[in-house]
Homo-oligomer: A and B are copies of this chain.
């Protein structure tokens, strides 16, 4: 990290950036309230720190050895009094702000009619962002893989429905992009690009998505520790995109015998991650539990734990769904969830203000 003097000029900053590039690294320039900080992207060991310490405008040079630094709270504390609390703006929706944000919709888009009926339902229930899967990662090669599997034309048609539903019901839209070749196409249609849990380690996909410059919903892999999760979010940031919404969606269950939940919902990761990074984090109780009858409680719990929002799979008739039927809730149930969560958030915020 290179911390510039508060009176450093634009030219001095540009000069430091130029010098960094000479050594084969990239520069991440953050202009904060109090000062400008330049993060080094790449292997810092190549840099002669003493050389940089004496460049005009440079106040201090610090070596940072963590695998995540551009997304770390420590980094943002260098240029903001309390550290940045990033609000990711998606159209008029603010993820990471005072109000929790609800992302809802079907697991997989099956037809235009299905999507529109669900979109209408979740909008009425109070959801803010519409989700719908088109390229579905599936455990079995023999299962329904989403409409995206039927070729570019059907994929594009499904994407256009999603776009249209978003406009009709006034919600930004998000869908998962599973492979590199889907990125350009999907980015044309959606407001947020989702990188699913199974692709969390896929740095080539991450880089491709990051460069689109759109907000990214970045899900934790079920086998990933928190350090790994943030280190792969760093791959987005080093490509110049910090509009990252993290998502906790459950980790591998532990213990013998049958699993009562699909994954272990690691809710303590939410406040723990929030101490490490300024990025907002939402939670996905649908995939974490895999059980409709646990969604209400675990949604409330996730918000109480500090999540900035929730992603909840919703269907007017869950048992009809081709994918993830056991974990879908109805729009009516969603409404109840949203209201309870909003109450809990208000209660927690007001306690903290008093506290």
Residues of A within 8 A of B (CB): 40-44, 67, 69, 137-144, 178-182, 198-199, 201-205, 221-228, 231-232, 234-235, 237-238, 251-261, 263-273, 275-276, 288-289, 291, 293-294, 297-298, 300-306, 336, 339-340, 343-344, 347-348, 351, 355
Are the C-beta atoms of A255 and B224 separated by less than 8 Å? yes
Residues of B within 8 A of A202 (CB): 179, 198-199, 202, 205
Are the C-beta atoms of A139 and B294 separated by less than 8 Å? no
Residues of B within 8 A of A258 (CB): 225, 227
Question: Chain B nearest CB: distance from A273 CB in Å?
Answer: 8
Are the C-beta atoms of B252 and A256 separated by less than 8 Å? yes
Among A42, A180, A199, A304, max chain B CB count under 10 A is at A304
Residues of B within 8 A of A298 (CB): 267-268, 271, 305
The 10 closest A-B pairs by CB, nearest first: A223-B223, A179-B204, A225-B255, A67-B140, A227-B257, A198-B201, A300-B304, A301-B305, A260-B272, A301-B304
How many copies the complex holds: the figure is: 4
Interface residue from B205, B227, B254, B348 paired with A254 (Cβ < 8 Å): B254
Are the C-beta atoms of B228 and A257 separated by less than 8 Å? yes
Beyond A69-B142, A180-B180, is A294–B265 a contact (Cβ under 8 Å)? no
Provide a sorted-by-A list of 11 A–B residue pairs whose CB atoms are within 8 angstroms.
A178-B203, A182-B204, A221-B223, A222-B256, A224-B255, A225-B257, A260-B273, A261-B268, A268-B288, A300-B304, A303-B304
Are the C-beta atoms of B142 and A67 separated by less than 8 Å? yes
Question: Chain B nearest CB: distance from A351 CB in Å?
Answer: 5
Residues of B within 8 A of A43 (CB): 142-144
Question: Chain B nearest CB: distance from A80 CB in Å?
Answer: 20
Question: Chain B nearest CB: distance from A110 CB in Å?
Answer: 13
Supply 7 further A-B pairs (C-beta < 8 A) apart from A227-B260, A265-B267, A268-B288: A140-B231, A180-B181, A228-B255, A228-B257, A251-B264, A254-B254, A264-B268
Residues of B within 8 A of A223 (CB): 221-224, 252, 254-255
Beyond A141-B235, A348-B300, is A294–B266 a contact (Cβ under 8 Å)? no
Are the C-beta atoms of B139 and A67 separated by less than 8 Å? yes
Question: Chain B nearest CB: distance from A156 CB in Å?
Answer: 17
Are the C-beta atoms of A142 and B42 separated by less than 8 Å? yes
**CB nearest to A300 among chain B residues:** B304
Question: Chain B nearest CB: distance from A265 CB in Å?
Answer: 4
Residues of B within 8 A of A181 (CB): 180, 204
Residues of B within 8 A of A336 (CB): 351, 355
